[in-house]
Amino acid sequence: MDLSIMELIKTIILGVVEGLTEWLPVSSTGHMILVDEFIKLDVSKAFMDMFLVVIQLGAILAVVALNFERLNPWSSWKSRQEKRDTVSLWCKVIVACLPAAVIGLAFNKFMEEHFMTAPVVATTLIFYGIMFILVENYNKHRRPRVTDLNRLDYKTAFIIGMFQVLSLVPGTSRSGATILGGILFGTSRYVAAEFTFFLAIPVMFGASFLKMVKFGFHYTGAEILILIVGMVTAFIVSILSIKFLLSYIKTNDFKAFGWYRIALGIVVIAYLFLVGDPTANN
């Protein structure tokens, strides 16, 4: 295929959407599925299915870049205790990844075949939007038990990982599900968000690797360029998105994201009633 300027613009738009929505609790996969219905890249369905997952590598690399020293257990700048804390953090991340790894591998194909649709995305957007509002109301007069990521215990980390399983359904939001789990089980919003960012690293690297293996390593020059442009765009926008969210939640709760999800879900449902389901023939 020949890569036109218009295809590059479409790729950049998808990268912006990914970078904005990967870290905000509004469902990046759900947004990408919806945006893909209106901004069609001139690629095969197999490549697009892979692209929608692999583009998240750009977003994940933003977390690594922003937290490299913090995530590096061999940093010469760290004391012995700080190095032990970093190893402990990675162990908690691995423990939290286990539920999604086991269940995701078992049900990934089924989810792709039956749940990658606009009605499912609309439903989960609304449902978890309501859940954010309810949880924040419930949490209003509770004092968080864990206000420092180093004090997060393995049991709570595993429970947060169980909530991550919910994100296998498109529209749920991986960050949204894990943040909700963290808040419900005693972490501060900031700790829940931080752990969610770190939890994404092995999850998305693993998911991207599996998608690339499934697609096969036979790319055209245009496909390679689309992947690079999409990931670079997602990386740059993710840097800004992560900084915004961590600054925002210092003085705000997640209700605004809940209302946004509900509004977007209603818009999608209205669109489905007016023109039908654009994903029905996928």
Task: State residue 279's pLDDT score.
Answer: 58
Kindly give, in sequence order, each residue whose CB lies less than 8 Å from that of residue 280, ignoring residues fewer than 6 positions away.
Answer: 117
Q: What is the pLDDT of residues 217-267, one digit of tens each?
A: 888 888 899 999 999 999 999 999 999 999 999 999 999 999 999 999 998
Q: What is the dihedral of CA 273, 254, 202, 221, to 10 degrees?
A: 50
What amino acid is encoded at 173 in this protein? S
Spatial distance between the Cα atoms of 114 and 137, rounded to a whole number of angstroms: 33
Task: State residue 27's pLDDT score.
Answer: 86
Contact between 57 and 231 under an 8 Å Cβ cutoff? The reply is yes
Contact between 239 and 62 under an 8 Å Cβ cutoff? The reply is yes
Contact between 182 and 196 under an 8 Å Cβ cutoff? The reply is yes
Residue 175 CB: number of other CB atoms within 10 A? 26
Kindly give, in sequence order, each residue whose CB lies less than 8 Å from that of residue 270, ignoring residues fewer than 6 positions away.
Answer: none
Spatial distance between the Cα atoms of 174 and 197, rounded to a whole number of angstroms: 10
Q: What is the pLDDT of residues 22-52, one digit of tens each?
A: 899 998 877 877 787 778 888 888 898 889 8
Residue 143 CB: number of other CB atoms within 10 A? 8
Task: State residue 212's pLDDT score.
Answer: 85
Task: State residue 222's pLDDT score.
Answer: 87
Task: State residue 82's pLDDT score.
Answer: 93
Helices assigned H by DSSP within the chain: 5-21, 28-38, 45-54, 56-66, 68-71, 80-114, 118-139, 154-164, 174-184, 189-215, 221-248, 255-275
Positions of the chain with pLDDT under 50? none
What residues does each domain of the chain span?
5-275
Kindly give, in sequence order, each residue whose CB lies less than 8 Å from that of residue 164, ignoring residues fewer than 6 positions away.
Answer: 96, 97, 99, 100, 174, 177, 178, 181, 199, 203
Q: How far apart are the first and last CA of the chain?
A: 21
